[in-house]
Structure 1
C-alpha cells in the first residue's frame, strides 16, 4: 500500500512539473528540452542549408541564426534586393564570408525553374544538406466568401511549390543517403483556424504529404521536420491573401499591443528544432500551446472547446490580442 502512495505522489509531482513547464513555455516540451539539453545550432556548422522565403520574416531571421552557427546558405525569394540585404547582414553581423552565401532569386510558383535552381546550387556548393521550405503566404477571409481562384493560388504557393522543389532536391539527398527536409507549417496546420480557411487547408495538406514522405524515405537517410509556429511578428499581414483574387490584406502588426512571438526568438527555436532533427515542433505561447496539446490528445474535446469559445475569441487569440 505504501508503494502505491509513493507511486501516486510521484505521478502527481511529475504532472505538476509538466504543467508548470507548459505554463511558462513558448514551445512544446520536447523542443523546450532540446533547447536546454540537446544539440546547439552550432552542430550544423559547415552544412549547406537552402532557405526559401528568406527575404523577410522567419526565413530572414533563420538565415541569421544559421549564419551565426557557421552554416553555408542558399537564400531564395522573389526580391533580389532584399536577399542581398540579408546576405550583407549575415556577413557583417553573423560571421559569414562572401562565398558562404549564394543568392538565388526565384518565384516559387514557376515550377519549371525548380530543377535548374537545384542544379545551380549543386554546381556552387556540390551538395544540399538541408532544405528549408519556408516560402508561403497567409490569409484573412470568411469561408463562404473566398473565390475559388484564391484557394488555387494559395495551394499552388503553399503546397505545390513546396512539393515540386522537394522532389527536385530529394534524388540528390537519396543518392548520398543523407538529407533533411524542413517545412514551415503553422499552428494552422494542426488546428482549424477560423478566418483563414484556404491557408489552414494548405498547411494541413503539407502535413499529409510530408508525413507520408517521412515514412517512405526513412530508410534512405531522409529526415523530415515540421515547424509549426503560432503568432509571430513579421510582414505576414501585409501580403496575406484575402477572399478576392489579386487583393492583399495590407495589414500591419502592432508590437505595442499584440502578444506575438518576436521573430528572432521563433527563428532560434526553429534552428534548435533543425539541429536536433525534431519531427514536429510547436513554436507558440499560451493559451494556444495548451489548446494544441488538448487537441492533439483529446481531439473531440478540443473541437468542443474551440466551438464553445467561438470565432471572435479564437481569432483574437490567433492575432495575439489575448
Structure 2
C-alpha cells in the first residue's frame, strides 16, 4: 500500500469520524463528557449507595424526581423545602416505591431565604444521621418578566433565594465535610447560568453568580481532593418551575398551563445528574437541542453566540408578550425537524 493511499484512507476515516460525532451531537441531550461517562463511567448504583443525601427543593420538579431515584439506591434522605405537606407526600411515595424504611428519611422544612436557621437545620441532620455525604442545592425559583417592568424587589428575592440561600447552606455544611475530608456538593444551576436570555434577567443573574461562586470554591478546596463540587446545568425540563416563576412583582407568579411536551423528561435529566454525581464531574450541561448547542457556542464561540442570541431573543420576547411559552415555538420546530 502506497503512502499516498494510506493518507487518503486516514483522511477518509477522520471525515467519517467527524460526521459520526456531528450526528451524535445533533441528537445529544448532554455534553460529550457526560455522555461518555454514561457509556463508560461509574454507575450510580455502585457509587452512591449507603450515603446520606440532603436535597433542597425536594417537594417538586427535579428535586422530587431526584429523591425518587435516590430512594432506589439504598441511601438515607433528608428532604427539604418550605411546603411540609408536599414533603410528606414525597416521603410516602419513597417508602412505597423505593428501598427505604421510615428511619431512612428525614423531612426537614427549610426556607432558603431564612439564613439564620441554616446552622440549626444542619445540626438537625447531623444529629439524625451523624454525617452528610452529599448536599444537593436544588431549591430556587425562576422569573418571567421584562427588566423595564420588573420591581427591584423581584431581583432582590431571586438573589436572596437562588444565590445567597444556597451559599449560606453550603457554608454551614462545608466545615463538616472539611473535618471528614470528604463529601459531594452538588449545585443545580441552569443553562441560563451560561447563556443569558431575555425575559429572565434576574434568574440568569442569580445563576451566573452561583456558577462563579462554586467554581471559586472548587479551587479553594484543592487541598481536599475528597470533597467534590459539581455544577449541574439543565435546560428546559418538565416541571413547575415556570408556573411558580416570579413575574413583575414579588406577589405575582406566572399563571399558565403551557404544554411541556417539548421539554426534557424529568426522569432523564435526573438520571444524567446521578451519573455526573457518581463520576464527580465538575460541570455538566443537560439539555436537548437547540439549548445544548447554544451552551457550546457561548463557551467556545461567544461572538457567534451573541448574534444568535439576539435573533432568538426577539422571538422569545414576542412569545412572552403574546402570552405564549417563551421557548416553545422554536424548540418544537427543532424537535419535529430532527425526530
TM-score of Structure 1 vs Structure 2, range by shorter chain: over 0.9
- Count of residues in correspondence between the two structures: 320
Q: Distance in 1 between matches of 2:33 and 2:59?
A: 29
Match of residue 296, structure 1, among 283, 294, 299 = 299
In structure 2, what is the equivalent of residue 201 of structure 1?
205
In structure 1, what is the equivalent of residue 36 of structure 2?
33
1:2-46 Cα shifts (integer Å, max 9, x gaps): 364444334323322221111111111111121122111112000
Matches within 5 A, 1:203-218: 203-218=207-222
Q: Distance in 2 between matches of 1:296 and 1:14?
A: 23
TM superposition outliers: structure 1 runs of 4+ over 4 Å: 313-317
In structure 2, what is the equivalent of residue 235 of structure 1?
240
Q: Is the 8 A contact 1:235 1:252 kept in 2?
A: no
* Deviation (angstroms), 1:65: 1.0
Residue 270 of structure 2 corresponds to residue 261 of structure 1:
no
Residue 12 of structure 2 corresponds to residue 9 of structure 1:
yes
1:37-89 Cα shifts (integer Å, max 9, x gaps): 21111120001110000000000000011111122111000111111111111
Name which of structure 1's ranges 86-95 and 159-168 shifts more when overlaid on structure 2. Answer: 86-95
Residue 24 of structure 2 corresponds to residue 21 of structure 1:
yes
Q: Distance in 1 between matches of 2:178 and 2:7?
A: 51
Q: CA RMSD in A?
A: 1.7
Unaligned runs of 5+ in 2: 320-324, 334-339
Unaligned runs of 5+ in 1: none
Q: Distance in 2 between matches of 1:11 and 1:73?
A: 48
* Deviation (angstroms), 1:313: 5.0
Residue 327 of structure 2 corresponds to residue 318 of structure 1:
yes
* Deviation (angstroms), 1:252: 2.5
Q: Is the 8 A contact 2:197 2:313 kept in 1?
A: no
Q: Is the 8 A contact 2:81 2:87 kept in 1?
A: yes
Residue 151 of structure 2 corresponds to residue 147 of structure 1:
yes
Q: Distance in 1 between matches of 2:326 and 2:154?
A: 25
Name which of structure 1's ranges 8-17 and 168-177 shifts more when overlaid on structure 2. Answer: 8-17
* Deviation (angstroms), 1:219: 1.7
Q: Is the 8 A contact 2:72 2:98 kept in 1?
A: yes
In structure 1, what is the equivalent of residue 126 of structure 2?
122
* Deviation (angstroms), 1:150: 0.7
Matches within 5 A, 1:121-200: 121-200=125-204
Residue 232 of structure 2 corresponds to residue 223 of structure 1:
no
1:198-237 Cα shifts (integer Å, max 9, x gaps): 0011101100000000111122132111111111111112
Q: Distance in 1 between matches of 2:326 and 2:286?
A: 15
TM-score normalised by length of structure 2: 0.90
* Deviation (angstroms), 1:317: 7.0
Q: Distance in 2 between matches of 1:237 and 1:287?
A: 19
* Deviation (angstroms), 1:321: 4.0
Q: Distance in 2 between matches of 1:120 and 1:92?
A: 25
In structure 2, what is the equivalent of residue 63 of structure 1?
67
In structure 1, what is the equivalent of residue 99 of structure 2?
95
- Work out which of the two has the higher radius of gyration on C-alpha atoms and give 1 or 2: 2
Q: Is the 8 A contact 1:151 1:198 kept in 2?
A: yes
Q: Distance in 2 between matches of 1:317 and 1:224?
A: 31
* Deviation (angstroms), 1:149: 0.9
